[in-house]
């Protein structure tokens, strides 16, 4: 019933509401709900009749649906038919656009993460930047969907976005829209260390990971000392791909569990027998923009004592969204938060994030000017609370940070991850943790 009335067309809405109200006495005391639906129909009728200009009824209904869903949590939303098709294309790893993961904060578009190798990343757009205007026109106050629509356009066309960055005056960045072919996984070697970068979890991620593992084995000539799995600025993606990626490093056992609204609504996902790296030491790099599926992988390898987690505390998105097509997708789809996920040790990281085993800052932190760079799940409007009471660690100066005069073009976190592998620190810390 709930899905049916969400998908109900605008035409005939009053008749639908009348039928629901008639059945209210036999429907478990839900009369108040039906009265509110009648109130909605009354307000819509008043707006249609009395508003200063004619309204677009379909747009008004969709905005009402969006308002209802956004009041639940930051990740539940409605997609119209076009947006649903674009979402399906995006999960396949090829789509048109700028290459930015964004959210909305107080009516302003905020960058969660630029995607590797895209126009946004090449132009230097950073996690935590605010986008305030497009082609000179303010987008402040628009819904996220409306702002994203303005960023879309013909491949090859130019777009100028105005960026507000903390500590700087607003500035314009000119970008050119491209077909975004997201290469989810890349691999390289540094001597005897394999470095595997996973930038997102789309339908091709696990297959590309297998190619990456073969690459680092081949290019190290059988002398593979360790692997760095770089999940920094990875905004997440598909749950099944997070499970498959974790499976590649684990020899059986639990990867993640999800728990829905009902007490018995629990799903447990396990790895298959056989570690594809045969016990080669692993470091997983994370930061504040590592979210969702990236956190599932980091949490699984941390709890299962398979990898040392290095970097800074992750984003903290511990919920699962299910995409529910409406009328087979003809009326779009509902993206609805249906469960929370838990690491193998039963931890919910919602709001709190995954804390690294070895905290290493990417750049020097001035103790006189402590501030959070970027955003976290807990900062988003209507974010779910962590039901276990876990909280994100407060602002502090990391013990391990680049020395003074460090060349910012040199990746300090990556450098430290490789040092931990070569020095035997990873193997030793994992033994200590297991003991």
Q: Which of 282, 268, 287 is nearest to 344 (CA)?
A: 268
Identify whether 317 is a catalytic site residue. Answer: yes
Dihedral-angle region of residue 106 (phi above 0 means left; psi in -120 to 50 means alpha; beta otherwise): left
φ and ψ at residue 370, rounded to 5 degrees: -65, 130
Identify whether 303 is a catalytic site residue. Answer: yes
Catalytic residue among 73, 303, 331, 357: 303
| Residue with tokens 């590309």, as numbered in its chain | 208
User: 308, 282 in Cβ contact below 8 A?
Assistant: yes
User: 325, 84 in Cβ contact below 8 A?
Assistant: yes
Task: Give me the DSSP letters along 204-258.
Answer: THHHHHHHHHHHHHHHTTT---EEEEE-TT---B-HHHHHHHHHHH-SSEEEEEE
φ and ψ at residue 417, rounded to 5 degrees: -60, -45
Instruction: Identify the three-state secondary structure at position 29.
Output: coil
User: 50, 42 in Cβ contact below 8 A?
Assistant: no
Give the integer Cα–Cα distance in Å for 231 and 286: 5
Give the integer Cα–Cα distance in Å for 161 and 141: 16
Q: Which of 306, 298, 254, 259 is nearest to 278 (CA)?
A: 306
Report which secondary-structure segment, H or E, holds 88.
Answer: helix 81-91
CA geometry: angle 115, 302, 92, nearest 5 deg: 30
Instruction: Identify the three-state secondary structure at position 304.
Output: coil
C-alpha neighbours within 13 Å on the C-beta side of residue 314:
33
Question: Which burial class, exposed, middle or buried, applies to 123 when counting CB atoms under 10 A from its CB (0-12, 13-18, 19+)?
Answer: middle
Catalytic residue among 110, 199, 290, 317: 317
User: 287, 232 in Cβ contact below 8 A?
Assistant: yes
Catalytic residue among 292, 314, 319, 348: 292
Give the integer Cα–Cα distance in Å for 6 and 62: 10
Which neighbouring-strand residues pair with 101?
113
Structure tokens at 248: 């590649």
Where in the sequence numbering do the catalytic residues fall?
292, 303, 317
């Amino acid at each position: 019933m709930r899905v049916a009335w969400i998908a109900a067309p605008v035409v005939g809405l009053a008749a639908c509401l009348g039928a629901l109200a008639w059945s209210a006495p036999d429907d478990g005391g839900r009369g108040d709900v039906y009265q509110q639906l009648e109130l909605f129909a009354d307000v819509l009728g008043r707006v249609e009749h009395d508003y200063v200009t004619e309204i677009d009824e379909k747009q008004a209904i969709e905005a009402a649906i969006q308002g209802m869903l956004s009041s639940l949590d930051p990740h539940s939303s409605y997609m119209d038919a076009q947006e649903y098709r674009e979402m399906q294309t995006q999960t396949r790893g090829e789509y048109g656009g700028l290459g930015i993961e964004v959210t909305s904060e107080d009516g302003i578009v905020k960058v969660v993460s630029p995607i590797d190798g895209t126009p946004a990343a090449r132009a230097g757009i950073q996690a935590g930047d605010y986008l305030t205007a497009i082609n000179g026109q303010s987008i402040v106050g628009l819904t996220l969907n409306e702002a994203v629509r303005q960023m879309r356009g013909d491949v090859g066309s130019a777009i100028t976005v105005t960026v507000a960055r903390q500590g700087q005056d607003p500035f314009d960045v000119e970008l050119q829209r491209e077909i975004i072919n997201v290469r989810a996984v890349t691999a390289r070697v540094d001597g005897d260390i394999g470095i595997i970068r996973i930038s997102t979890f789309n339908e091709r991620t696990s297959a590309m990971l297998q190619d990456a593992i073969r690459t680092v084995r081949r290019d190290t000539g059988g002398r593979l000392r360790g692997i760095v799995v770089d999940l920094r600025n990875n905004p997440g993606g598909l749950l099944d791909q997070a499970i498959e990626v974790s499976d590649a490093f684990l020899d059986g056992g639990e990867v993640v569990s999800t728990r829905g609204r009902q007490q018995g609504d629990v799903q447990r996902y396990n790895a298959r027998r056989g570690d594809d790296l045969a016990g080669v030491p692993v470091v997983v790099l994370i930061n504040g923009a590592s979210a969702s599926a990236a956190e599932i992988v980091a949490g699984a390898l941390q709890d299962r004592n398979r990898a040392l987690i290095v970097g800074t505390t992750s984003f903290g998105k511990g919920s699962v969204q299910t995409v529910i097509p409406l009328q087979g997708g003809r009326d779009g789809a509902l993206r609805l938060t249906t469960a929370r996920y838990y690491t193998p040790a039963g931890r919910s990281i919602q709001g709190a994030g995954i804390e690294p085993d070895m905290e290493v800052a990417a750049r020097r932190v001035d103790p006189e000017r402590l501030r959070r760079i970027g955003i976290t799940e807990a900062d988003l409007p209507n974010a779910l609370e962590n039901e276990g009471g876990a909280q994100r660690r407060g602002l502090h100066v990391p013990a391990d940070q680049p020395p003074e005069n460090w060349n910012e073009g040199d990746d300090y976190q990556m450098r430290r991850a490789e040092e931990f592998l070569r020095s035997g620190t990873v193997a030793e810390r994992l033994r200590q943790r297991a003991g």
